Structures are given as structure tokens and as C-alpha cells.
Amino acid sequence: MIVYMGYEGKLWVYSDTRVSAKGKDGLDYYIHDNYEKAKIINNMIVVGMGHLPAVKYVFEQFERSDKQIGDLEQITKDAYDIYGNEIGMYIFNCDTNGVFWVYTISNLLGFKTRKKKLEIMI
């Protein structure tokens, strides 16, 4: 889960730390609450959701890359090809004009990056 809001020129991003697994009965089971799904990388907030091994792979590979949106798009697709489970990655950043953006990359979007301007309350 991700919650974000803009207020007084600042962006606040919160993510849960819950890890769960699907049992043989098809139900999701709680495993633990201590995986940081949000990381600051190159002045960007990067958040991963979905299959935990795939998310870990994306974070590791993105840290080794040039840290561009295109890199994250390809790495996320590679993770899906390797692990075959749902994955979503989100980047929050602020451009040079002080405008906040969120970029979404997911297998559900065909790994095409969706960019959305975030409205900040004054």
C-alpha cells in the first residue's frame, strides 16, 4: 500500500512494510512487517509492490544502473520475465520547477511508464 500527499510544497510518501505469501489454499498469509518497500535513490523516492523477490531484484539492479526511468522500466520487465509474478514500481520526484510527479511501471500497464503530475495543496 502507498499513500502520498502534497502539502505546503512538500511531498509525503508512506508505504507499508507487510510481507505476505499465498498459501496452497489460495489465501494470503502474513509473514512479517519489516520490509522497506520505499527507498530513496538519487533524490527520488522509489516504491516497489508485488512479488517480494522480484521487487528486491529491481531495487538491487536499479542501484547498479544509471538510475533513469528507462532503466527502471527495463529492470521491472526483466524481473517479471524472471519471476513471472505481479510487480509495480513507482517513482516520486520533483522537477526543477518544483512540480511533483509520480511514474508508474507495472506488468498491468505492459511496462509502459505512466507519468502523472501530483497536485500539492498550499
Query: Which residues of the chain are under the pLDDT cut of 50?
Result: none
Q: What is the DSSP code string of 52-120?
A: HHHHHHHHHHHHHS---HHHHHHHHHHHHHHH-S-EEEEEEEE-TTS-EEEEEEEGGGTT--EEEEEP-
Which pLDDT score is estimated for 6? 67
In a domain, 57, yes or no: yes
CATH number, residue 99: 3.60.20.10
What is the domain range of residue 99?
36-117
How would you classify residue 45: left for phi > 0, otherwise alpha for psi between -120 and 50, otherwise beta? beta
Q: What are phi and psi of 61, to 5 degrees?
A: -70, -40
CA atoms of 82 and 9, how far apart (whole Å): 39
Which pLDDT score is estimated for 94? 85
Q: What is the DSSP letter of 73?
A: H
In a domain, 92, yes or no: yes
In a domain, 4, yes or no: no
Q: What is the pLDDT of residues 55-82, one digit of tens each?
A: 999 999 999 999 988 999 999 999 999 9
Which pLDDT score is estimated for 22? 75
Which pLDDT score is estimated for 7? 66
Which pLDDT score is estimated for 116? 94
Domains contained in the chain, number: 1
In a domain, 78, yes or no: yes
